[in-house]
A and B are shown apart, each in its own frame.
Chain A
């Protein structure tokens, strides 16, 4: 009796599994974008990091998606990417033909500017997260020759230029604050002019994201005009901060904190930085489908992305846009997104106080 039951159950479950597999296969086969135009919204002007990221990947995605569709990239620039994301929320259909590019700025708008945000990024279907690290560097006039001289920075006066306190510069100015470095902030400047002012000696501390660092600031380092001092590091799957795979010889920020303060960092300020770092570093670039996209479509997209990342042609022609960081495909990205957009209450309070006191900016 028991025997029979088990056997029957086995057969049943086998049938179920087979039919399920068949159904899945059928669904996966049904996903075919042949002859389709896939609309990709990039919520920034052409030429920005997110635009280059998408345009570099586009031809390779086209090759790997079922049916080889055409990707149409639409730039909807402005207002810290809110209009572009709102437009995607309003118009995108969950049929796999509408794709959204998200950057750290979009995430920051989502977290810090609730009043204008109509999009529900937390509900969107993630397809790919591409982290992007950053390198901090100091001017040699500060008396530093390598990162080992970090403790010499204590007590010196710093001048840093950036766009604004609540933009992508957040993770870096928090770093300076947490390191206890007294900084004079000069706002309203893009990264390029800032680097030029650094070279002129008007600013003495600066950072660049990894492509900016490799593409520009590294020349300054080679010419002895800048000294790299630490990286933001990246977060591993255990939630710990580890060294940046592109600059493994530089200490990450937690190590830098320890070098300066003599103990491992902790407390609400540290937690706030960890959240903002996940926002800025781990969610630096990403691809999303609308909420409620059927599973087979998500799987077809995820497979295409996985295939693309493994493709040596992609690696050779456009691999530079992902800079050798771990990539998170499909639902594997969900925990990171959750961490990045949720601050612990004490950390949020710390951040509010910090913005108010240091930058006269009110968060709501």
Chain B
């Protein structure tokens, strides 16, 4: 067996194999870097070339691609607060906070080294798991899955922000957002307003962009000249690397979490990074810097989301069951090149299994290496006046949103939810708590119903279930004991009951949303409504308690309005509505002349009016963006939103 292991390594180190592997890695880095595109987009591009190919060449390429999308997705997350893929959402909290303090290179250095170690850990566990993990995975039935989802949900306790009641209400609201669409038990539509678009639920990509990217961009546009508040990059990538090594046990723990969650079908990367973040926080002694630029908040999620790949390969190779969406594609490709995963994979394809494992390890090294080298130069982006970067970012964000379902509704959904996210940020409602509720909602709803349908209540007697219940109790206990770091209350502090009206309106809207949910799901079958109804009622209870405090006129952590935080000399240049109107202008331009031409018009106008650059520079920037979009569209076979112009007349590529 050991000779096979090293034989596979030797095979990989021939020039041809290495070239395929590196090719896959480069493609993976590019799609990971671009928000909205991930391993799935790139892998589907490779598929036609995969069929009939030599497995020892094709496998390294595919694995190389999948292994590193979670490495390069950190760039946009840290630098501009845009999740490159949904596995990078938690990295934003502290990574982007660091970038704003001029520590982008350090944050990236820590992130990439954590990715590297996490990826290697994942490959190591995979090597061992293919020998031993079968009974473990078969031990996780519906009851255990339900309890694991509940355990993940308790992580919300760490992410509620200064006001636990607001955090829990947001988690409940996340559960409601997540239950939009067809009910798992009966396929009845819930909260869809009769729109076909909402039948499959709100896309996660759009939720992530709306919660983080949009509020972030608007805030930086309003407040600052550059993303970084200091004019020079502070410490470099090496310091970040050293910090990862210092927190080596955190890397090991979060990598283990990543492998474990990745190995369970149904959860995956979007959950992993949040659980890892909460775990990093749970186990830290001093939590005062979390959310404000604690390097551990970068290391935890980044180690876990790369380890996730090793985990996701376990069910893919051992059971022939994909651990994630991109693994589904990988599995399809495996079957077509004549590899049959599942029982006996180790007997039938031992050589290929080892090639997969080595490819995973080597790809992580190459991918993280390339990113580490690029980290410092790319981090300089945070020193560029943001008003020059912003229009391009807005285009990229809307490009990413459109990749969710390739429908116009994607753009509208992002705009509406982006406004919601912006006010959540302003009034201090926890966005991470909402996202955790959101990513777990469908799984929670389905696994409650499925456990009871299969076992009745007897699933509670299973040993595995009881072990996880014990963990849940510990997790809640830790969360309850943790005092969030918060400023003392004072009559004129940020939590004083001054100018309550905007906050009251927002609170009122949240209550209305819950009431509407109750009204909307009332007519459905019991199995379809029990979950959203419970979530709505619990959320209403939280909001009710909040309203009660709200009516009393004394300082409370419930009150918060970021608008009051601005120092006298630091007044924002414009209101948030002002920049939201600019975004609306972009959508209007797309609606009139389509995405490519709309981008051209929009960037020109923005550069000219907001940034005040000369005409020819504005036009050159806009042309560049349009050309890149057209080129990408061509190579990746993407389609873009069409406008009235495209409906009225027939235009040649790239304007179609």
Point out residues on A near B: beta carbons under 8 Å. 37, 45-48, 51-52, 55-56, 58-59, 72-80, 82-83, 116, 159, 161, 164-167, 184-189, 192-193, 195-197, 199-200, 202-203, 211, 214-216, 218-220, 222-223, 225, 313, 316-318, 320-321, 360-361
- Which residues in B have their C-beta under 8 angstroms from that of A82? 196
- CB of B515 within 8 Å of the partner chain: no
Contacts of A48 in B (CB 8 A): 328
Contact A222–B344 (Cβ < 8 Å): yes
Q: Which 4 pairs from chain A and chain B are nearest by CB?
A: A188-B184, A317-B52, A47-B329, A46-B44
Given A202-B454, A219-B344, A318-B51, does the pair A116, B525 have CB atoms closer than 8 Å? no
A46 in contact with B321 given A75-B406, A79-B199, A79-B200 (CB within 8 Å)? no
B47 sits at the interface (CB 8 A): yes
**Residue B219 at the A interface, CB < 8 A?**
no
How distant is A207 from chain B, measured CB to nearest CB, in Å? 16
A316 contacts B52, C-beta separation under 8 Å: yes
A192 to chain B minimum Cβ distance, whole angstroms, is: 4
Asked whether B7 is an interface residue with its Cβ less than 8 Å from the other chain, the reply is: no
Q: How far is the CB of B639 from chain A (nearest CB, A)?
A: 5
Contact A78 B449 (CB under 8 A): no
- Beta-carbon contact of A188 and B185 below 8 Å: yes
Interface segment out of the listed B292-300, B332-340, B606-614: B332-340
Alpha-carbon distance between A59 and B328 when the two chains are bound, in angstroms: 21
| B199: A residues at CB distance < 8 A | 78-80
- Contact indicator A83/B336 (Cβ below 8 Å): no
Contact in complex: B335, A159 (CB < 8 Å): no
- A72/B40 contact (C-beta < 8 A), A56-B51, A320-B335 known: no
A58 with B48: CB separation less than 8 A: yes
* Given contact pairs A52-B332, A164-B182, A360-B525, A199 touches B138 in the complex (Cβ within 8 A): yes
Instruction: Please report the total number of B residues contacting A with Cβ < 8 Å.
Output: 57
B389 in the interface (beta carbon within 8 A): no
Question: Which residues of B lie under 8 Å from residue A197 when comparing CB positions?
Answer: 141-142, 454
Q: Which residues of B contact A167 (CB under 8 A)?
A: 187
Q: How far is the CB of A223 from chain B (nearest CB, A)?
A: 5
Number of A-B contacts defined by CB within 8 Å: 160
What's the least CB distance linking B473 to chain A, in Å? Answer: 26
Question: In the complex the two chains form, is B48's CB within 8 Å of A55's CB?
Answer: yes
A47: B residues at CB distance < 8 A? 40, 43-44, 325-326, 328-329, 332
The distance in angstroms between the C-alpha atoms of A222 and B340, with both chains bound, is 13
Residues of B within 8 A of A188 (CB): 183-185, 445-446, 449-450
Query: Given A159-B454, A313-B52, 14 other A-B contacts at CB below 8 A?
Result: A46-B40, A47-B332, A77-B405, A83-B405, A186-B453, A187-B187, A193-B265, A199-B319, A200-B138, A215-B342, A222-B344, A223-B344, A318-B51, A318-B336
Contact A360 B48 (CB under 8 A): no
Contact across chains for A52 and B321 when beta carbons are under 8 A apart: no
In this assembly, does B509 line the interface, its C-beta being within 8 Å of a C-beta of chain A? no
Q: Judge whether B507 is part of the interface by a CB distance below 8 angstroms.
A: no
Which chain B residue lies CB-closest to A359? B186
Given A79-B196, A189-B446, A197-B141; A55-B44 close (CB under 8 Å): yes
The answer to whether B329 and A46 have CB atoms under 8 Å apart is yes
Asked if A187 contacts B185 (CB within 8 A), the reply is: yes
Q: Which one, A46, A52, A79, A186, contacts B336 given CB within 8 A?
A: A52
Partner of A187, one of B186, B325, B329: B186
Q: Does B343 make an interface contact (CB < 8 A)?
A: yes
Contact B336 A321 (CB under 8 A): yes
Bound: A361/B341 CA distance, A: 37
What separation, in Å, do the CA atoms of A211 and B320 have in the docked complex?
12
Chain B neighbourhood of A58, CB < 8 A: 48
Residues of B within 8 A of A203 (CB): 454
Residue of A nearest to B201 (CB): A78
Query: Is B315 positioned at the interface, with any CB of A under 8 Å from its CB?
Result: yes
Considering the complex, give the chain A residue whose CB is closest to the CB of B185: A187
- Interface pair A165/B187, CB less than 8 Å apart: yes
| Interface bits B114-146 vs A (CB < 8 Å: 1, else 0) | 000000000000000000000001100110000
